[in-house]
């Protein structure tokens, strides 16, 4: 098998196919002189992704021959693909949090993240860490009143319990600029905050060799609606800002690198998310090289990957479980160092054992049964992912330089440049979802009309902060659906939609399916009548069902005569229903409107706005 001559002989039996041959075949099949332009994916970042790539497309990629563990770390900072399974514990109750932690550890977690907002005294911390083997389990601390106090108590606890300081692995989720981005203000001033970070780093370095004090909370960019390029550019820019400020405070570059971790949200774009983590490692190494060329190879980006909240929904929540599964796979294949899988019901329910256990088991299954931890950078050599990684680096670096021209990340935040750029991106995503150019399975596409979720919701939406508006793509659709559900609970009825199909078989079926799916989004009661044979039957159905909405489904050229004949028997304006046409008939629109047609629904319709109008009018 290792005989190169035999291999050459084997592959010599296959004729070499040039790229142009494939393109010529596409021209023929697609009947187009430029088939690649038809198949090219234009990402929201402005990147053009081709339909296919070939070996020759790897020739200009500079990092293609790098190996795992070798700078600039595109293929991982590790020589294995193991990662820590992290359990984020939401509750601030010390005793309950400790019980949850111990149970999670017994089920396979080797990293725990605590909400420390109730930690005031050393006894509180001791109760939180009770019976946890700190030499084997990594501990992460979030939301404390004071990180300095937590560190003080932590040192005391480790020393009193004679725990080996070289074996403990602690991390703080300290990120003053992230707080500023969300809340619109710093804890005190940014300089005061950096002084605090400096003192934490200096004190931690005296005691713990494996300690990460600084987190770059890049998940906020993602959950605010940023594009992937914006995520990468702003993440590196934020990290560089801290490097500059800490160097000014005489913290060594080596110490800064040791203390820095990147918290990245992972979304549903499977290959893009893999490429994102690969690109991040290269960009971090490149950025540090600008400070000190010798330190670039030491800049191993430590990545904490966690499930996205941006793409999660309240309705059809088990789809969230599918989303978190592919997200975990992307994080693992992308070489994350630690992964947190959020519960599928996190957006509407408080922490519970059922969903939390499933979330943790997703990681265990992917690691222990699917063996994703056995191969480092399995995406390496993939023509598509290698090119996608290179494109992300190129476009992200351009935006990073734009932020640097502003004066760095802190100034870009103060001037609202970061917020405005992300808001523009988020609004485009919202609009695409509203028009169903971007599908949210179970929410704006193929919803379950029989599902009721109002009684399941425990967490109410928070008021939007003045900074980056963290949100969810499905949020407005969820609100619409809940309006219908609450109306049903009060009245025991839902608005009816009578779908009348007639004429051209292909068009009536396609449009009836489209309309049924359209109104299912708000869980209206769809009454589908297939193949209405004449106007008398149609009129009887309309009068008998007394639906709030009546939709005609056929081909564009059949609408006018059918509806006009219908109106000749009974004045449609006198019937208490809204007449709608499925499609975009170009002729007779004025006449149809005069007869009584109130709206046309088609693939260009803004679904969200249209359904919002119906809810306002019908749910009275």
Region of 524 on the Ramachandran plot (φ > 0 left; ψ -120 to 50 alpha; else beta): beta
The order of strands in the sheet holding 578-582 is 525-529, 496-501, 549-553, 578-582, 597-601
Rounded Cα distance between 235 and 191, Å, is: 20
Where in the chain are the domains?
84-413, 493-618
Residues present in the chain in total: 620
Where does 415-558 have alpha helices with state H?
A: 417-434, 475-491, 505-520, 535-545
Helix intervals (H) in 350-463: 353-364, 383-406, 409-414, 417-434
Q: Which CATH superfamily is domain 84-413 in?
A: Methylmalonyl-CoA mutase (3.20.20.240)
SS3 for 42?
strand
Hey, is 232 helix, strand or coil?
A: helix
Q: What is the pLDDT of residue 2?
A: 46
Cα distance between residue 286 and residue 296, in whole Å? 6
Q: What's the sign of the alpha-carbon dihedral 425, 430, 435, 441?
A: positive
> How far are the Cα atoms of 38, 311, 320, 475 from residue 445, in angstroms, in the given order?
25, 14, 14, 14
Residue 254 belongs to what H/E stretch? helix 253-259
- Residue pLDDT, tens place only, 493-506: 999 999 999 999 99
CA atoms within 13 A on the CB side of 432: 14
pLDDT > 70 in the chain, percent: 98
Q: Quick one: tokens of 351?
A: 């922490």
Q: What's the pLDDT at 15?
A: 81
Residues of the chain with pLDDT under 50: 1-5
pLDDT at residue 6 in the model: 52
Strand partners, 340: 86, 306
The Cα 365–Cα 329 span in angstroms is 11
Q: Where are the beta strands (DSSP E) in 320-468?
A: 338-340
Instruction: Report yes or no on whether pTM surpasses 0.85.
Output: yes
Question: Taking the CB of residue 65, how many other CB atoms lie within 10 A of it?
Answer: 8
pLDDT at 18: 87
H-run or E-run covering 41? strand 41-42
Tell me which of 3.30.70.20, 3.40.50.10860, 3.40.50.280, 3.40.50.11540 is the CATH number of domain 493-618: 3.40.50.280
> Rounded distance, CA 44 to CA 41, Å?
10
CA–CA gap between residue 62 and residue 66 (Å, rounded): 9
Whether residue 72 is preceded by a cis peptide bond, meaning omega within 30 degrees of 0, is yes
Q: Which of 382, 295, 368 is nearest to 334 (CA)?
A: 382
> Could you give the CA distance from residue 111 to residue 170 in angstroms, rounded to a whole number?
10
Q: Given this model, what pLDDT does residue 10 score? A: 67
Strands 111-115 and 303-307: unpaired
Query: DSSP alpha helices (H): ranges in 107-252?
Result: 122-129, 147-160, 176-183, 190-207, 219-223, 228-248
| pLDDT tens for each residue of 65-119 | 999 999 999 999 999 999 999 999 999 999 999 999 999 999 999 999 999 999 9
């Amino acid at each position: 098998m290792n005989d190169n001559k035999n291999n050459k002989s084997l592959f010599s039996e296959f004729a070499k196919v040039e790229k142009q041959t494939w393109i010529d075949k596409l021209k023929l099949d697609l009947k187009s002189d430029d088939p690649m332009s038809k198949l090219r994916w234009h990402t929201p970042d402005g990147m053009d992704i081709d339909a296919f790539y070939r070996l020759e497309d790897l020739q200009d990629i500079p990092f293609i021959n790098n190996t795992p563990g070798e700078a600039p770390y595109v293929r991982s900072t590790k020589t294995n693909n193991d990662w820590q399974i992290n359990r984020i514990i939401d509750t601030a109750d010390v005793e309950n949090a400790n019980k949850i932690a111990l149970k999670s550890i017994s089920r396979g977690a080797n990293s725990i993240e605590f909400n420390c907002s109730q930690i005031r005294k050393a006894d509180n911390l001791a109760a939180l860490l009770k019976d946890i083997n700190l030499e084997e389990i990594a501990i992460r601390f979030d939301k404390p009143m004071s990180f300095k106090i937590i560190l003080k108590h932590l040192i005391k606890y480790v020393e009193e319990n004679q725990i080996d300081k070289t074996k403990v692995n602690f991390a703080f989720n300290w990120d003053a600029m992230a707080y500023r981005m969300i809340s619109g203000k710093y804890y005190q001033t940014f300089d005061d905050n950096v002084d605090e970070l400096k003192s934490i780093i200096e004190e931690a370095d005296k005691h713990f060799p494996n300690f990460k004090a600084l987190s770059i909370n890049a998940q906020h960019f993602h959950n605010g609606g940023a594009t992937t390029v914006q995520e990468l550019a702003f993440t590196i820019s934020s990290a560089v800002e801290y490097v500059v400020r800490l160097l000014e405070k005489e913290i060594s570059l080596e110490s800064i690198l040791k203390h820095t971790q990147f918290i990245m949200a992972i979304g549903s774009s499977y290959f893009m998310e893999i490429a994102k983590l690969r690109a991040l490692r290269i960009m971090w190494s490149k950025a540090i090289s600008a400070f000190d060329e010798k330190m670039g190879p030491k800049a191993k980006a430590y990545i904490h990957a966690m499930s996205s909240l941006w793409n999660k929904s309240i309705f059809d929540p088990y789809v969230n479980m599918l989303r978190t599964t592919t997200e975990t796979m992307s994080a693992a294949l992308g070489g994350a160092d630690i992964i947190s899988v959020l519960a599928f019901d996190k957006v509407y329910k408080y922490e519970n054992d059922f969903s939390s256990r499933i979330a943790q088991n997703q990681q265990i299954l992917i690691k222990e049964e699917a063996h994703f931890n056995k191969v480092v950078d399995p995406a390496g050599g993939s023509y598509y992912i290698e090119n996608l990684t290179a494109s992300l680096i190129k476009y992200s670096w351009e935006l990073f330089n734009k932020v640097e021209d502003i004066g760095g990340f802190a100034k870009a935040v103060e001037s609202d440049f970061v917020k405005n750029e992300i808001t523009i991106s988020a609004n485009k995503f919202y609009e695409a979802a509203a028009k169903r150019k971007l599908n949210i399975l179970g929410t704006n596409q193929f919803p379950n009309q029989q599902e009721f979720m109002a009684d399941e919701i425990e967490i109410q939406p928070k008021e939007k902060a003045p900074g980056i508006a963290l949100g969810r793509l499905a949020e407005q659709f969820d609100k619409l659906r809940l309006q219908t559900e609450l109306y049903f609970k009060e009245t025991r009825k839902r608005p009816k939609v009578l779908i009348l199909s007639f004429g051209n078989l292909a068009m009536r079926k396609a449009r009836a399916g489209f309309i049924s799916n359209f109104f299912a989004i708000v869980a209206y009661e769809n009454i589908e009548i297939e193949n209405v044979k004449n106007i008398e039957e149609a009129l009887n159905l309309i009068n008998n069902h007394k639906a709030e909405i009546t939709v005609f489904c056929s081909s564009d050229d059949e609408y006018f005569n059918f509806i006009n004949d219908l109106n000749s028997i009974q004045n449609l304006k006198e019937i208490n229903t809204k007449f709608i046409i499925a499609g975009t008939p170009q002729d007779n629109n004025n006449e149809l409107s005069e007869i009584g047609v109130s709206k046309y629904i088609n693939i260009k319709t803004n679904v969200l706005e249209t359904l919002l109008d119906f809810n306002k009018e019908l749910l009275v």
